[in-house]
Each structure stands twice: as C-alpha cells, then as structure tokens.
Amino acid sequence: MSKKGKIKNGNNKAKHTKLLNQKKNKIREEKLLNKQRLRALIVKSNLYKDACPCGSNKTFGNCCAIAHNNIEEVSTAEQLMRSRYTAYALGNIEYLMSSHHSLTRPNKEQDEILNWTKSVIWLSLEILNSSNGSASDIEGTVEFKAHFEEVGATQVIHEHSKFVKENGHWVYLGEV
C-alpha cells in the first residue's frame, strides 16, 4: 500500500467516525425529544385530572379544557369568563387572544400579558352576577372577582364584563 493510499484510508476512517458520531448524536437527540414529549404528555394528562382552576368543582378535562380545545363548545358567557380565568391561571395566551373580541383584542400586549400572568399566583374566581349570556343570547354580562397573589400580596380584580358573540361563539368585549 502506498503512502498516499494510507492517508486516503485514514481520511475515510475519520469521515466514517464522523458520520457514526453524527448518527449516534441524532439517536441521542431523538431519544431526548421522545422523553420530553412523553413528559409533556404526562404533565398534560395530570393537568386534565386536576381540579379546574375556575373553581367549578369539575376536573380541568371536564371543564375549561373543553373550551380551550374548541371555543365553539362554549355555550354561555359565564363559561367563557371561567375559561378565560383558567387561561390566565395556565398562561394560555393563545386562548386569551382567541376569546377576546377582534376589535378590542390586545394583540400588541401579548408578551406583556403572558409575562405578567406567569408572574402571579391565581387563587380563585368568584362569579358575583350575570345577565343574559345564555346559549340563545347574543350578548351578556358577568360580574366577577378574580383573586391572585402578586409579589406576596393578595390582590383582586373586580370587573363587570361584557360578552358578545363573534363568528358564532362567545368572546370577551371589555368592561361594561
């Protein structure tokens, strides 16, 4: 074997080792990704079995998760209110946007809202009053108190909210 041939073989070997390592890394990455996916699934299924943050005494899976998965399933303004509180509690910004009327939707403040809601601890939701907002209505109001803890202090948002139907489903319009 000539010297040139040996070098070539050496290069091939290096190339082969490189490819083998790349393959090994790829397998390692895939395994890690599968583990992460599995963990996310477990977290999700546990969350579905947990009490719903809105305080309905139902599991999240049997309550606000239905709304979060398909907003068209929400039949009353109060249900929409509850599902929005739960979305705040879980940091579901996509739902907070899709359940907001397009005319008043705070698109530009999305990051700010998400960061804020993740920084507080949502304690409970109290529904004080509601008017109209049934399945057959096209508008309704809900008065509520949302209790949360921010930087160690208990706070409350007391709001009388207006809900209307847009594209055939309930959305939050704003304060009455």
Q: How far is the CB of 64 from Zn ion (least distance, A)?
A: 3
- Which of 106, 116, 109, 56 lies closest to 83, judged by CA? 56
- Binding to Zn ion by CB under 5 A, coded x per residue (else -) over 69-88, reads -------------x------
Contacts 24+ apart (CB under 8 A), 154-159: 154/123, 155/120
Q: Which of 47, 48, 56, 101 binds Zn ion (CB under 5 A)?
A: 56
Look at phi and psi of residue 152 and say left if phi exceeds 0, alpha if psi is from -120 to 50, else beta.
Answer: left
Residue 32 or 135 having the CB closest to Zn ion: 135
Q: How far is the CB of 83 from Zn ion (least distance, A)?
A: 6
- Which of 16, 167, 8, 7 lies closest to 98, judged by CA? 167
Residue 56 or 110 having the CB closest to Zn ion: 56
Q: Which of 22, 25, 46, 52 binds Zn ion (CB under 5 A)?
A: 52
67 binds Zn ion (CB under 5 A): no
142 binds Zn ion (CB under 5 A): no
Which pair of structure tokens corresponds to residue 95? 């739902």
- Which of 126, 92, 125 lies closest to 110, judged by CA? 92
Residue 63 or 96 having the CB closest to Zn ion: 63
Q: Which of 19, 34, 39, 63 binds Zn ion (CB under 5 A)?
A: 63
Point out which residues bind Zn ion (CB under 5 A). 52, 54, 56, 63-64, 82
